[in-house]
């Protein structure tokens, strides 16, 4: 364990606070409104086009803070490693954690690592039964990551659903469903969708740019598990308002649409990682889109819907054909475990 920490974990994460190896990290005095969050990651396979569990673990917690309009100050890293996980894989994940943390301009200041006995996963059992050694993902179980994060909120008023009212506009910062479809494609062995890449990215600089421009999103949410549909239903139910979204306006790439068809999934319910739903007052839409589009992670930002009356606590999709259908919160098989 001493070797693991000193030779594999500390070097890539390289910072004095972590390297002190004390029971906790000294962060000094924090000036501002403190926000605290945590998330665990159990994705399989551990690596996929556009990212891996390490990048997910950093971006997920950074984005939870960003959605609270908070600047990430410090992250913790809890790793549960199964015996038998190749050290090369661990090193790769740690490099990825370091790289995502650098991109988000935040440090891993405290951590904990546990090594547990190797257990036979469902995928391994299936592989054994079919005498296949190459079931996608089966060889890559064995690592669970938890990250917790501390952030400082930079604006007076926290973005919450309570701010939302009729007339507000729903904006998204780019193409949906890329993360979930990239992971599911690898898992199902759909090689020809290999141009699909996870969109996992730290969104804090994008949110900071909108706040720095004096824009005040009323609400922010990263549409991860449950996808865009899940997030919109959450908002409608929390506010009691009606949300109307235009199918035609929702950005879905041709590759993603194709992969979703093959996998039998609705892009609206597939998990995103580097996306953000912003609810803004109508008069802020134009400057907000200008601001988002000037950022590498917001180039394809677009308004996709609005809060309308009368209030029905539901989400209506205006289809490309001009029809209307209610969006529901996905459940069961629509929710593969991918983040």
Q: How many of the chain's residues bind its own copies (CB under 8 A)?
A: 57
Which CB sits closer to its own copies, 107 or 193?
A: 107
Region from 118-126, 208-216, 308-316, 317-325 binding its own copies, contact rule CB under 8 A: 118-126
Query: Is residue 68 a contact residue for its own copies (CB under 8 A)?
Result: yes
- Phi and psi, residue 40, nearest 5°: -115, 150
Gap between the Cα atoms of 246 and 327, Å rounded: 12
- Contact between 282 and 209 under an 8 Å Cβ cutoff? The reply is no
Query: Edge to edge, what strands does the sheet with 277-280 contain?
Result: 219-221, 277-280, 169-172, 302-308, 242-246, 314-318, 324-327
> 116 vs 282, which CB is nearer to its own copies?
116
Q: What are the phi and psi torsion angles at 9 (to 5°)?
A: -90, -50
15 lies in the site for its own copies, by CB under 8 A? no
Report if residue 155 touches its own copies, rule: CB under 8 A.
no
79 lines the binding site for its own copies (CB under 8 A): yes
Closest alpha carbon to 53 in 115, 144, 136: 144
Closest distance to its own copies from the beta carbon of 22 (Å): 7
User: How far is the CA of 86 from the CAs of 5, 81, 83, 139, 163, in angstroms?
Assistant: 15, 10, 9, 10, 48
Is 128 a binding residue for its own copies by CB under 8 A? The answer is: no
Helix, strand, or coil here: 244?
strand
Q: Is residue 42 a contact point for its own copies (CB under 8 A)? A: yes
Q: Within its chain, how far is the Cα of 254 from the centroid? A: 22
Choice between 110 and 193, CB closer to its own copies: 110
Please tell me whether residue 294 binds its own copies under the rule CB under 8 A: no
Q: How far apart are CA 109 and CA 17, in angstroms?
A: 6
Query: Does the footprint of its own copies cover residue 35 (CB under 8 A)?
Result: yes
Closest distance of CB 119 from its own copies, Å = 5
Nearer to its own copies, 5 or 262 (CB): 5
- Is residue 137 at the binding interface for its own copies, with CB under 8 A as the rule? no
Instruction: Determine contact, residues 226/266, Cβ cutoff 8 Å.
Output: no
Which of 7, 86, 102, 118 touches its own copies (CB under 8 A)? 118
C-alpha 149/C-alpha 129 separation (Å) is: 41
Distance CA 162, CA 309 (A): 16
Supply the minimum distance, in Å, between the C-beta of residue 269 and its own copies. 14
Which of 139, 140, 178, 222 forms a contact with its own copies (CB under 8 A)? 222
Tell whether residue 337 is a contact of its own copies (CB under 8 A): yes
Residues that bind its own copies (CB under 8 A): 22-40, 42, 63-65, 67-68, 70, 74, 76-80, 109-112, 114, 116-122, 125, 144, 146, 148-151, 153, 158, 160, 221-222, 337
């Amino acid at each position: 364990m001493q070797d693991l920490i000193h030779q594999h974990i500390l070097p890539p994460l390289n910072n004095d606070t972590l390297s002190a190896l004390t029971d906790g990290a000294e962060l000094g005095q924090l000036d501002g409104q403190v926000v605290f969050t945590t998330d665990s990651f159990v994705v399989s396979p551990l690596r996929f086009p556009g990212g891996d569990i390490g990048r997910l673990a950093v971006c997920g917690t950074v984005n939870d803070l960003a959605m609270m309009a908070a600047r990430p100050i410090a992250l913790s890293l809890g790793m549960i490693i199964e015996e038998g996980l190749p050290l090369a894989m661990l090193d790769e994940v740690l490099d990825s954690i370091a790289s995502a943390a650098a991109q988000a301009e935040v440090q891993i200041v405290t951590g904990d690592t546990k090594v547990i006995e190797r257990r036979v996963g469902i995928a391994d059992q299936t592989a054994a039964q079919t005498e296949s050694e190459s079931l996608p993902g089966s060889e890559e179980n064995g690592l669970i990551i938890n990250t917790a994060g501390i952030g400082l909120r930079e604006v007076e008023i926290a973005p919450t659903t309570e701010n939302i009212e009729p007339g507000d506009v729903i904006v998204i910062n780019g193409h949906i469903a890329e993360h979930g479809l990239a992971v599911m494609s690898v898992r199902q062995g759909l090689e020809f969708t290999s141009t699909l890449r996870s969109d996992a990215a730290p969104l804090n600089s994008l949110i900071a740019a909108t706040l720095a421009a004096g824009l005040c999103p009323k609400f922010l949410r990263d549409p991860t598990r449950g996808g865009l549909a899940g997030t919109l239903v959450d908002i409608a139910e929390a506010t009691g308002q009606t949300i109307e979204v235009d199918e035609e306006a929702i950005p879905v790439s041709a590759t993603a649409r194709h992969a979703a068809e093959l996998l039998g999934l609705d892009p609206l319910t597939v998990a995103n990682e580097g996306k953000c739903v912003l609810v803004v007052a109508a008069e802020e839409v134009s400057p907000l889109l200008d601001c988002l589009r000037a950022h590498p992670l917001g180039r394809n930002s677009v308004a996709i819907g609005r809060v309308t009356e009368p209030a029905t606590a539901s989400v209506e999709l205006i289809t490309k054909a001009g029809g209307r259908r209610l969006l529901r919160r996905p459940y069961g098989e629509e929710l593969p475990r991918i983040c």
